[in-house]
Chains A and B, each alone.
Chain A
Amino acid sequence: MASNKEALALVVDIGVGMSQTAPGFDSPLQITSDILQMIVQRKMFQQSKDELALILYGGDETNNDLADENNYQNISVVFSLSPANWHLFEEIQKIKPGNNPADLIDAIVVAADHLRRETEGKRGYAAKRVLLFTNAATPFNDHSLKVILDSLRLQDITVDAIGPSWGQEEEDDDENDRPDSPTQTNGHNGDSASARPTTNGNHHNRNQKKPLTPQQKTGIRIINDIVNTTEGSLFTFREALGMLSIHQSKTVKPTATKYIMQLADIKLHICTYIQVKDNKPGIFRLKKVYARDPKSEIKVDRGRYTKDEHDEEIEKEELTDGFRYGTTFVPINKETLDDMKYQSEKCFSVIGFSDANMMRRSLYLGDTVYEVIAEPTYEEEAQTFTGLVQAMYDTNTVAIVRKCFSERSSPELGFLRPHIAHDHICMYYVKLPFAEDLREFNFDNLDVIKRNLPNDEQLKTVDNLITTMDLSHADRGREEAFQPELISNPYIQRMFQSIAQRAVTPDEPLSLSNTIMEMNDTLIQSIARKSKRTLDTVHEQFILRDTNRRQKVATGEALFGNNDISAKKARLEDNNEEFTTDSTSFEAQAAAKKKAAIKTVGTVTPVEDFRILIEQGSPSLTDVCKQMCTLIFDLINNSHGDSLFEKALQCIQCLREICIDKLEPKIFNDFEVVLKAHASDIDGRKDFWKKIVDEKISLITSEECIESNVIPVEAKKFLEEETAIQALNNAPINNEQDDEEEDLFDLI
């Protein structure tokens, strides 16, 4: 394996100086801890092979291989070199300020020694690095610095240092406000520490601005010396936070797909690389796990069944492939299917050349832009390829290509566009549509209808709008704003943030931020300021009338069945949640209550859950019964055939028992009325009602429970009556069944 991992020693000063701060400011140690957590998280999310060690100095403990009675005291290796894991993360969270003297130089020596010991004899390390976190407030001894520096160089160890400020000795404070500060060069994202993803945003990391002590000045000089000698870098806290605030997914190593490009008699070895493709980080692939025991992964069974009322399972061997031809089913066996398949060889053939202007962007198809270059090992062919690219570039033409990845895949049509930069020459390949892929929709010319024609004044306003909101040079330094190359996918950022948050504080609700707007707040604000007046004019000059025909909320739940809603509603009420109209926060809040949800009646062992909850006495009896009712409806509705009927029946019996026991017959009786109406209404659920009748699960009678006002005759009749008649007699129940069901919960 190639040497590609890094050995990284995190050396952290926890001495007195690091925890001193004025009120209202984060201590340097606190900020250090945040940065360390971000580094470790990032390594874990990227599934990085890099190995990390954590070394603290200035605390009470001494734990290192070099220590003896007099030397290397108060330096502790709390995490030995190994890939980042949660244990390391927790060690960082556990860091507490110390108040013992410890020597910065000694700590570096311990780190270097640790790196040496741990990497010796092992392969695969591309670099060794010490990352030093300090504000240089603690005194240290630099008499052997020269020797140590030589040793670091010899071992090829780089030392980087991160601290509150590295101001030159004389001009010390206020580095945050100095625009020309050499440390403030982190471009687009280093702007605010408050944009950091890991903290929940209620405290701001601010560096305390106070003059450096003479000790710090000396310390900084020495650190500068070390860093420069080992070709490392200095970072301020602010810079480090900025760099780390953008999550990055695992980088993909470019891999070439090789083809032979054919153009008449010319055959050239070429490589294609993915240049642009929607990045879906692999880590986001989620497993389905069992809510009550997250360790067990859920298996999925996809059985084939006959598509009729029998629902018979069919074995794999009894299935054959086929196609639909109109309403006719055309079975086709495997061999014929292979024969039928279009046969193609792997190819990359130029069909011809066409004017580049004909390649409308709106025709582009597929999900990838490929870069195509000649395979460099074939020198003459590479030269030929270059000649072709240049000629295409000069004549403004593109090549139309038939491309087929392998014999097993379908050929596709695409085109090659030449690209020449001062140090790069290649072609871009994008897929094109076939005739079948085009949808030739026609739209009327907007000018035909008079009221669609903007007047001169309106046109002038829009012209103004375009000018005031021109982003071509709107960014700092008159650069193009919102360059795709610089905008991170907010979803990826948010997902990483959520994973981090959930990992660290599993019980807290997610705080969802990271919209494009938030991430580019300053820019958006400045544009909004500029365009404000023009927007007002647009508002005055264009009459836009909302017809209010848009449904405000059309969610899946609203469309598909109301049980879901009532279940949700029930859950909401359980949680005494205020119903907010803002659905984002609603969803987040509802989700946040997942722990509470586990305390509810689940579908796996509902009867047991129910009994336990009743015994616990919290939530209240009515609430638990409510849950049970909802669950029974769920079971009946989601049952495939009658597979879940038995379970539902057990639930009903249990509910009945409890209701009698707790002298709450009304809950059960109301429920059964609704159930009967419900079951009689839906095909395939009538069977369930039949089971109830067979099992003689009647309404709770006054004989069974004194609280009931149902006499046994009534109860018997209730069961015996035909559902149809019942439906007639109780027309309101049936008609307003939907409402009824929700009302039930209000009644309880």
Chain B
Amino acid sequence: MSLLDQNWGAGGSAEDEAQDENQQGRPITTNRDGTLILIECAPQMFETLANQMKQDSTFDEDDEDAQLTTGFQLVMRACQRFYQSKIISNDKDLSGIILYGTENSLNAFDFKHIYILHELAQPSAERIIQLETLSNKDTFRAKYDELFGSTQATGYSLNEALWTCSNLFSNSPQRLTIKRIFIFTCNDQPHASNLTLERQAKQRAKDLHDVGIQLEVFPILTESITKFDFKKFFQDVLMLSDEDLEIRNNQEPTGRLNELLKLVYSKEHKKRAYCTVPFSLGKSSDGTPLEFSVSVYNMVRPCPKPTKIKLDMKTNLETKIVTKHYLPETAEILMPSDIQYGLDVANRRILFDSDEIKAIKKFGDSGFELLGFKSLSCLLPHHYVKPGHFIYPDEKYVEGSSCLFNALLKKCLEKKMFILCQFTARRNTPPRLVALTAQAEEVNKKIKNDRLASNGFHVHYLPYADDIRTLPKNDTTRAANDEVDLFKNVIRGLKFKYRPDKFENPALQTLWRNIEATALNKGEPDEFIDLTIPSVENQNRKISGYVDELKQMIFPPGYVMGTTKKSAAAKRKAETTSSPSSAKKTKPDEDVDVEAAAKSNLLSKLTVPMLKDYCRDKKLKASGTKKQDFIDVIQSHLGIAQ
């Protein structure tokens, strides 16, 4: 689970997920996370990093990261990456940075040695550029001194630092779903000499915990500090059980930090139901509707590209669009009630009110209505119109939903059936037919707790008769067995295990990187490797043998595939398509060609269609459909010995 993941630290069970959707499925409030990064600026933070930290932080061979020699630089870089990743993954989330142990102070309470570098806010390019200078080896020292004072202070209080954080959270104008504090420190017992301060800090941590603020500690090891013992102090701050403590103390201290240092270009998706709707099985004899409740989720949707916005050139500020409806003659601005909707049929304008348009679209309340069950084999490959959903029972509206849902799930799996429903997603959307296919839980056998698929039903939209088009039939002659066998070899040579997370979207990744480069005044955007472009060279290395054979078998010599200039054969075909296809090629010159080729023993250079045509014309019957069969029969027909 990534640190960028909003569910981090919280055991996200499905039941409390639905809280923010209303029945319409339209989220009223946005879920935002808040993260405050609290950094201790003790002198040790400016020592050379312990070797293990260095190694770990430079494992990705990033030149820039290799220059990070001190803990402070490393932390600043981690913050920078955190911001950068946040902008892509969820730029509505708020973050902030507070330093403690600085000479200068900047906070609402006049606490000494606590400096709020960034208030809780959405990340911006300015912040990232500032952090860049604070980690760069040439600039970080000077910048640090300028902002926070050149000497390191002692006698600061972690309690006050945490209090400052807590205050920032409570002053946040936005409602925050998750609040957490990351503490970066090289000091495993900050108040060793002052029991009062220690007690205060622990109490504060407990208070924070009680109001749902999560704490996490990232130890920084340096030349002089090579060990970080959570037991000394932070066990109580983090509320670690003894087992957790054990795990924590034995953990690589850099594991989580490295996760922060990684720059992730991926959008984060909040686990929020698209809608929660009733699932109706019908009515029992006494008229009680048989209904349970399900939450509908979108598991696959195109990730939106950053939207292009229009900026005011003078101020570089955002603009808004105001839509006005007006009458062309009088330029009179109209209200919605003055507008009707019309369409022209055979020169007559037919009118509807907006209410009527809505009423036409409204067929019933939202939800699933059971029509019946069908064998999975009734679901054909082309039965698809738009991306589907996933449903999971919801106990919030109807208790007992899970049990009935589970029974349906088990039986559908067992009987290899799917559920056919009529599904209305919203009140004013027309219904569609959907197939609900059962999904059993799938767990990775090798890694425990790695769930490959959750149990529930997939919702697949089915087309209506109106959506399926009638297309001309294509009935090319089936290929001969040896050709098919060669293709099987080609397939084997290029077979790989498809995984949906294997390919990143080249257009999206490029755009993200380019925007970032422009915003941060970087010369070149981060490199992106496009895996969707197949390397023809590699492919050839694996299968060129079969391909050559295929070419020889099917194409005439010198044929260039895929060129728009039509080959002679294609032209011939084009000329003859207008006349009925049979009994066409009795042109003597072609026959001569075949016969000439046969005489000079070049029959194998001709294409199968040419040979076939010749055989058909001469009413020769080949013993098979392979090329050699045709050659044999032609040769015997012309009395040429092999």
Contact = CB atoms under 8 A, between A and B. Distances in A.
A365 B430 CA distance: 21
Contacts of B38: none
B519 A502 contact: no
Nearest to A504: B350
Interface string B287-326: 0101110000111111100111111111111111111111
A225 interface: no
Contacts of A638: 335
B504 A435 contact: yes
Interface stretch (B201-209, B241-249, B529-537, B587-595): B529-537
B356 A594 contact: yes
Interface string B129-171: 0000000000000000000000000000000000000000000
B602 interface: no
Contact of B479 (A289, A386, A594): A386
Contact of A387 (B340, B484, B533): B484
B297 A85 contact: no
Contacts of A308: 317
B562 A260 contact: yes
Contacts of B24: 554
A330 B349 CA distance: 47
A249 B534 contact: no
A545 interface: yes
A329 B338 CA distance: 38
Nearest to B356: A591
Interface string B377-389: 0110111111110
Given A286-B343, A361-B437, A545-B400, A386 B478 contact: yes
B311 A603 contact: no
Given A294-B349, A351-B534, A491-B430, A266 B464 contact: no
A532 B285 contact: yes
Among A384, A470, A590, chain B packs the most CB atoms within 10 A around the CB of: A384
Contacts of B309: 321-324, 329
B511 interface: yes
Contacts of B506: 342, 344, 410-411
A55 B221 CA distance: 99
B335 A358 contact: no
A387 B483 contact: yes
Contacts of B573: 376-377, 379
Contacts of A485: 465, 468
Contacts of B550: 266, 384, 387
A327 to B, nearest CB: 4
Interface residues of B, number: 226
A706 interface: no
Among A359, A378, A515, chain B packs the most CB atoms within 10 A around the CB of: A378
Interface residues of A, number: 221
Contact of B458 (A302, A305, A361, A515): A361
B417 to A, nearest CB: 6
Nearest to B349: A294
B524 interface: no
B483 A331 contact: no
Given A362-B390, A365-B302, A436-B266, A469 B398 contact: no
Contacts of B322: 302-305, 640
Contacts of B555: 380, 384
Contacts of B355: 587, 590-591
A289 B464 contact: no
Interface in A313-330: 314, 318-330
A465 B385 CA distance: 28
B440 to A, nearest CB: 10
B372 A469 contact: yes
A353 B502 CA distance: 14
B381 A603 contact: no
B479 A474 contact: no
Nearest to B277: A550
A392 B465 contact: no
Interface string A387-408: 1101110110100101000000
A434 B398 contact: no
Contacts of B121: 327
Given A318-B312, A358-B498, A503-B345, A325 B299 contact: no
A325 B125 contact: yes
Given A381-B561, A480-B374, A304 B299 contact: no
Given A275-B382, A435-B503, A265 B547 contact: yes
A442 B454 contact: yes
B282 A531 contact: yes
A252 interface: yes
Given A305-B319, A379-B573, A494-B360, A470 B341 contact: no
B448 interface: no
Given A364-B387, A437-B303, A340 B510 contact: yes
B267 interface: yes
A727 B431 CA distance: 49
A459 interface: yes
Interface string B501-537: 1111111111100111011000000000000111010
Interface string B607-634: 1110000000000000000000000000
Interface in B414-464: 415, 417, 420, 422, 427, 430-431, 433, 437, 439, 441, 451, 454-456, 458, 460, 462-464
A358 B495 CA distance: 12
Interface stretch (A162-170, A419-427, A740-748): A419-427
B284 A539 contact: yes
A383 B466 contact: no
A278 B386 contact: yes
A101 interface: no
Contacts of A693: none
Interface string A479-493: 011111111111110
Given A287-B343, A298-B325, A382-B476, A428 B515 contact: no
Given A307-B318, A466-B411, A328 B125 contact: yes
B332 interface: yes
A341 B333 CA distance: 39
A263 B267 CA distance: 32
B351 A289 contact: yes
A44 interface: yes
B462 A499 contact: no
A428 B384 CA distance: 11
A290 B310 contact: no
A449 B282 CA distance: 27
A576 interface: no
Contacts of A328: 124-126, 519
A443 B381 contact: no
A306 B407 CA distance: 57
A223 interface: no
B453 to A, nearest CB: 9
Contacts of B267: 436
Interface in A242-273: 248-249, 252, 254, 260, 262-269, 273
Contacts of A252: 469
A336 B320 contact: no
B433 A354 contact: no
Interface stretch (B51-59, B71-79, B229-237, B363-371): B363-371
B108 interface: no
A294 B342 contact: yes
Given A322-B310, A367-B386, A472-B375, A362 B460 contact: yes
Interface stretch (A450-458, A680-688, A718-726): A450-458
B350 A471 contact: no
12 contacts: A291-B340, A323-B515, A340-B514, A344-B506, A349-B533, A380-B554, A384-B554, A428-B382, A442-B454, A472-B374, A486-B465, A547-B397
List of 8 A-B pairs having minimum Cβ-Cβ separation, nearest first: A267-B562, A391-B487, A491-B430, A387-B479, A410-B507, A354-B498, A454-B407, A443-B454
Given A435-B505, A550-B278, 12 more contacts: A328-B126, A329-B318, A340-B518, A377-B577, A380-B556, A384-B555, A419-B382, A463-B415, A480-B374, A481-B372, A484-B468, A506-B351
